[in-house]
């Protein structure tokens, strides 16, 4: 009978895993099939035959994967014996020797195998890979949970682990990022770590060797998958220490100390791999968790995935169904599969704590307690960490399910099969319903218009051209235009964020142009040297701003007045005003207005209220409306106010109101800018004052004939370099020249020399 049941499990368990994997892939494939804009080709990349990738970092990993495939290492070149990426962090490039290549290795292996059966491109593999990798997490989750509490608990844990919202959105088609491997590799590491300790406890040599080999292999995979891989190893070390203190066997004999020896070996290994581990952790904590107190703002506050989540979103219904993919407010409970598995995890964790206090807990119990606590802390610090928190929640919820089912069996409850089914459905329904709703909409990070502009730049600009935009687009530019980017996800240094933001937010075009020239010619060297010479304080940044607002000759006078000697002054001028610059193009995508408030936030001295993001706001953004006629024109905006434009010939006045009367104005409009076939005209409201001009709003009308594109932005936004490029197509700028042959809705501006 035992042999029959054992053989039966050998068939049932693989069949269950295959079924769960199929469900995991099905929902992700459904999202792809239902994604908007794919059928009409708007989000299709004609060069690769796939839609554009869903997340901008994916393009960095794609480029590193291609480099590894072609060169044998990440980066497109070598510098001083180090692997080097000359495309990122222009103009210098950056060291990529520490790039974690596991995702690339898997993609390359899959691509080479798939190429044996057809003409498959690396881009196609990258687009689809994570959808299949997402199912691998169910293997260690199921094996670990089912061993602890039975098959039913393993099923619940496996389904929750792959279909929780946090993991789901990071493994959809087109999301070619390391999230797809971090989850299952970390679970694999913990699975072998637990089995290795238990094998030693059971004194079974063959299992010790097998699980030891698995532990070593999974640790290498973990090391190769994520740059914060050591977090999981440290969690295991803490579990080993706790296991030693609260031994589950306390018979008066001397307690074995091998868990402490294991912990010591792991810590030693981590420090050998990461000699500057303390410094790295300190820098990471500063960037992720410290929002204030440094000279430069933290760019992490602008990253959507690093925003602090709420406990749950969507009111009462949000507790029982996850939010759809496009929802901008995700809660922790929504992200792990709803309130039922969330509470179940903490109930089971409480039972494990009780076991630990009674000295009945095993290594897996300590590991799950610590794993849950650490990832819960991280989950409250940023959206992206909800995915990590969902993993121990899944295992613990599965354990509670298995524990309750075993109680039903022990008490021989009537109709317990029905109750078990109801319990499993209660655990899984929010997650399944949530991914079903999430499978309605997915928007790639780029579109055909951006692709066409990148192709035009690749074909019509010199190879050493530097492209400038906000960091969100940098990786895409490097991959599709094959040109260097000044600002991308890998060059989010404090000073670079500050200077790029200041250049875009400033109304001083000369300052903006000289900032971009400085960064394109000498990178961060000018700022670093200025801070070294004059001190790391705001006064130094103000001095830099004053020098960059003028010409090189007068800048030398300002530096001399600040106390720089002749040699230092000459060195600084060469860095501030570099010569022999490459071609510099500023790229302004149509979605860039959504992030424009960050330009003011990052482009200010800390402690100064010179700029305020509320003064760089947009109320109406490029709405297509009927062109204003002579007389009064009332436009309903659906934003809580009406826009009233009075036109008399080439003269305009504008107001906002709930009605036609001027008496109730929620927004003080001080002027109107009109761009039409006659050129560029600016009108001032008769009743506006000089103070209103600073604090008020500007209406921008792009009159194309029968229709107009109308925007309503703050005066600071309208006067900024970015505002003049984005809304006025460069009219009023002299250093930045609009390049219509390279542009469509994505605007390209060439930065001229300073001569």
> What digits encode the pLDDT tens for the residues 97-145?
889 999 999 999 999 999 999 899 999 999 999 999 999 999 999 999 9
Q: Is 493 exposed, middle or buried (0-12, 13-18, 19+ CB in 10 A)?
A: middle
List, in order, residues 6 or more apart from 641 with CB less than 8 Å away. 656, 657, 658, 666, 667
Tokens 């004053």 found at: 546
Give the angle subtended at the CA of 466 by the CAs of 302 and 75, to the nearest 5°. 80
Q: What are phi and psi of 213, to 5 degrees?
A: -65, -40
Q: What are phi and psi of 138, to 5 degrees?
A: -70, -25
Tokens 């004194």 found at: 203
H runs (alpha helix) in 439-493: 448-460, 474-480
Are 479 and 59 within 8 A, CB to CB? yes
Identify the band that residue 611 occupies on the pLDDT scale cut at 50, 70 and 90: very low
| Residue with more model confidence, 753 or 172 | 172
| Residue 375 pLDDT | 96
Query: CB count, 10 Å around CB of 348?
Result: 27
Distance separating alpha carbons of residues 321 and 440, to the nearest angstrom: 15
| Residue 609 pLDDT | 41
Identify the band that residue 171 occupies on the pLDDT scale cut at 50, 70 and 90: very high
Looking at the predicted structure, is the pLDDT value of residue 607 above 50? no
Q: How long a stretch of residues is the chain?
A: 755
Distance separating alpha carbons of residues 608 and 627, to the nearest angstrom: 41
| Residue 288 pLDDT | 57
Identify the band that residue 610 occupies on the pLDDT scale cut at 50, 70 and 90: very low
Mean predicted confidence (pLDDT) in 579-607: 84
Per-residue tokens: 304: 């959507």
For residue range 220-269, what is the model confidence (pLDDT) as tens digits? 999 999 988 999 999 999 999 999 998 765 555 566 889 999 999 999 99
Q: Is 5 exposed, middle or buried (0-12, 13-18, 19+ CB in 10 A)?
A: exposed
Query: CB count, 10 Å around CB of 154?
Result: 28
- Reported in sequence order, the residue ranges of 53-203 that DSSP labels E, i.e. its strands, are 77-79, 82-85, 94-95
Identify the band that residue 543 occupies on the pLDDT scale cut at 50, 70 and 90: very high
Distance separating alpha carbons of residues 616 and 603, to the nearest angstrom: 12
> How many CA atoms, within 13 angstroms, populate the side-chain half-sphere of residue 389?
30
Distance separating alpha carbons of residues 609 and 600, to the nearest angstrom: 10
Per-residue tokens: 308: 């602090």
| Residue with more model confidence, 438 or 612 | 438
For residue range 453-462, what is the model confidence (pLDDT) as tens digits? 999 999 999 9
* Residue of 416, 424, 336 whose CA lies nearest to 154: 424
Are 604 and 614 within 8 A, CB to CB? no
What's the chain's Rg over C-alpha atoms? Answer: 30
* Residue of 184, 167, 274 whose CA lies nearest to 222: 184
b vs e for 573-590, b when ≥16 Cβ sit within 10 Å of the residue's Cβ? bbbbbbeebbbbbbbbbb
Mean predicted confidence (pLDDT) in 324-347: 81
Question: By percentage, how much of the chain surpasses pLDDT 70?
Answer: 89
Give the angle subtended at the CA of 364 by the CAs of 193 and 422, to the nearest 5°. 125
Per-residue tokens: 305: 């995935």
Mean predicted confidence (pLDDT) in 284-292: 57
H-run or E-run covering 591: none
Per-residue tokens: 300: 């992490």
Q: What are phi and psi of 509, to 5 degrees?
A: -60, -35
List, in order, residues 6 or more apart from 415 with CB less than 8 Å away. none
Q: What is the mean pLDDT of the chain?
A: 88
Distance separating alpha carbons of residues 202 and 367, to the nearest angstrom: 19
Distance separating alpha carbons of residues 391 and 395, to the nearest angstrom: 7
Q: State the angle between helix axes of 2-34 and 122-133 in degrees (0 to 180), rounded to the nearest 10.
A: 130
Mean predicted confidence (pLDDT) in 593-610: 69
For residue range 204-222, what is the model confidence (pLDDT) as tens digits? 899 999 999 999 999 999 9
| Residue 283 pLDDT | 63
Identify the band that residue 52 occupies on the pLDDT scale cut at 50, 70 and 90: very high
Q: State the angle between helix axes of 102-114 and 122-133 in degrees (0 to 180), rounded to the nearest 10.
A: 110
First-to-last alpha carbon distance for the chain, in angstroms, is 91
Looking at the predicted structure, is the pLDDT value of residue 9 above 80? no
* Residue of 485, 686, 668 whose CA lies nearest to 585: 485
Identify the band that residue 432 occupies on the pLDDT scale cut at 50, 70 and 90: confident
Distance separating alpha carbons of residues 473 and 478, to the nearest angstrom: 9
* Residue of 161, 211, 201 whose CA lies nearest to 182: 161
Distance separating alpha carbons of residues 718 and 534, to the nearest angstrom: 34
Beta strand pairing status for 697-703 and 669-676? Answer: parallel
DSSP line for 531-553: HHHH-SSHHHHHHHHHHHTS-HH
* Residue of 584, 390, 625 whose CA lies nearest to 487: 584
Q: Any idea which of 465-469, 610-614, 626-630, 687-691 has the lowest mean pLDDT? A: 610-614
b vs e for 367-383, b when ≥16 Cβ sit within 10 Å of the residue's Cβ? bbbbbbebbbebbebbb
Which of left, alpha, beta for 627 (phi over 0: left; psi -120 to 50: alpha)? Answer: beta
Residue 468 CA to chain centroid, in angstroms?
A: 19
Looking at the predicted structure, is the pLDDT value of residue 47 above 60? yes
* Residue of 611, 643, 614 whose CA lies nearest to 628: 643
Are 483 and 465 within 8 A, CB to CB? yes
Q: What are phi and psi of 702, to 5 degrees?
A: -100, 95
Q: State the angle between helix axes of 2-34 and 416-438 in degrees (0 to 180), rounded to the nearest 10.
A: 30
């Amino acid at each position: 009978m035992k042999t029959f049941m054992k053989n039966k499990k050998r068939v049932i368990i693989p069949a269950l895993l295959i079924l769960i994997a199929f469900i995991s892939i099905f929902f992700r494939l459904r999202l792809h099939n239902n994604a908007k804009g794919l059928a009409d080709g708007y989000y299709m990349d004609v060069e690769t035959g796939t839609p554009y990738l869903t997340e901008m970092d994916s393009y960095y990993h794609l480029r590193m994967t291609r480099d590894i495939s072609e060169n044998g290492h990440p980066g497109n070149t070598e510098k001083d014996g180090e692997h080097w990426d000359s495309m990122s962090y222009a103009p210098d490039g950056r060291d990529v020797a520490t790039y974690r290549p596991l995702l690339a290795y898997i993609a390359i292996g899959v691509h080479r195998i798939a190429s044996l059966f057809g003409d498959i491109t690396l881009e196609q593999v990258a687009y689809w890979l994570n959808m299949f990798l997402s199912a691998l997490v169910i293997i260690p989750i199921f094996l670990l949970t089912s061993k602890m509490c039975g098959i039913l608990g393993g099923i619940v844990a496996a389904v929750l682990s792959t279909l929780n919202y946090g993991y789901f959105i990071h493994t959809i088609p087109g999301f070619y990022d390391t999230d797809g491997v971090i989850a299952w590799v970390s679970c694999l590491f913990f699975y072998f770590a637990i089995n290795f300790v238990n094998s030693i406890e059971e004194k079974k040599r063959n299992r010790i060797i097998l699980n030891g080999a698995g532990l070593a292999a999974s640790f290498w995979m973990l090391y190769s998958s994520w740059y914060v891989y050591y977090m999981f190893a440290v969690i295991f070390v803490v579990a080993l220490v706790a296991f030693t203190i609260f031994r589950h066997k306390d018979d008066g004999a001397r307690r074995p100390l091998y868990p402490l020896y294991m912990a010591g070996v792991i810590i030693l290994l981590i420090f050998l791999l990461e000699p500057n581990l303390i410094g790295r952790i300190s820098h990471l904590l500063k960037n992720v968790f410290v929002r204030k107190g440094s000279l430069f703002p933290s760019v992490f506050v602008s990253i959507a995935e690093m925003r602090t989540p709420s406990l749950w979103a969507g009111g009462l219904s949000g507790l029982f169904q996850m939010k759809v993919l496009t929802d901008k407010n995700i809660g922790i409970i929504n992200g792990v599969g709803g309130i039922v598995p969330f509470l179940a995890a903490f109930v089971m964790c409480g039972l494990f704590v009780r076991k630990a206090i009674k000295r009945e807990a095993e290594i897996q119990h300590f590991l799950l307690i610590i794993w849950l606590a650490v990832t819960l802390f991280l989950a409250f610090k940023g959206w992206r960490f909800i995915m990590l928190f969902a993993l121990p929640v899944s295992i613990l919820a599965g354990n509670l399910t298995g524990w309750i089912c075993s109680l039903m069996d022990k008490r021989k409850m009537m109709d317990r099969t029905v109750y078990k089914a109801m319990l499993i459905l209660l655990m899984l329904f929010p997650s399944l319903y949530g991914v079903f709703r999430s499978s309605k909409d997915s928007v790639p990070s780029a579109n055909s218009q951006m692709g066409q502009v990148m192709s035009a730049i690749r074909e019509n600009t010199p190879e050493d051209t530097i492209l400038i935009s906000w960091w969100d687009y940098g990786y895409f530019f490097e991959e599709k235009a094959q040109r260097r980017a000044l600002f991308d996800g890998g060059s989010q240094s404090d000073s670079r964020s500050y200077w790029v933001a200041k250049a875009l937010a400033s109304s001083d075009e000369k300052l903006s142009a000289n900032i971009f020239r400085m960064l394109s010619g000498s990178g961060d060297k000018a700022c670093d040297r200025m801070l070294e010479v004059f001190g790391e304080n705001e006064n130094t940044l103000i001095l830099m701003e004053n020098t960059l607002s003028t010409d090189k000759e007068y800048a030398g006078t300002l530096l001399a007045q600040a106390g720089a000697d002749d040699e230092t002054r000459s060195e600084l001028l060469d860095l501030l005003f570099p010569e022999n610059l490459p071609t510099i193009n500023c790229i302004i995508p149509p979605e860039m207005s959504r992030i424009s408030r960050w330009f003011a936030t990052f482009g200010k001295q800390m402690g100064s209220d010179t700029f305020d993001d509320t003064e760089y706001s947009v109320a109406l953004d490029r709405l297509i409306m009927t062109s204003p006629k002579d007389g009064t024109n009332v436009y309903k905006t659906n934003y809580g106010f009406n826009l009233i434009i009075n036109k008399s010939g080439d003269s305009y006045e504008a107001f906002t109101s709930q009605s036609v009367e001027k008496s109730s104005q929620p927004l003080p409009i001080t002027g109107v800018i009109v761009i039409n076939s006659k050129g560029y005209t600016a009108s001032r409201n008769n009743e506006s004052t000089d103070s209103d001009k600073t604090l008020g709003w500007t209406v921008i009308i792009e009159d194309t004939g029968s229709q107009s594109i109308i925007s309503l932005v703050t005066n600071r936004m309208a006067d900024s370099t970015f505002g003049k490029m984005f809304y006025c197509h460069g009219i009023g700028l002299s250093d930045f020249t609009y390049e219509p042959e390279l542009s469509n809705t994505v605007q390209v501006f060439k930065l001229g020399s300073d001569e």
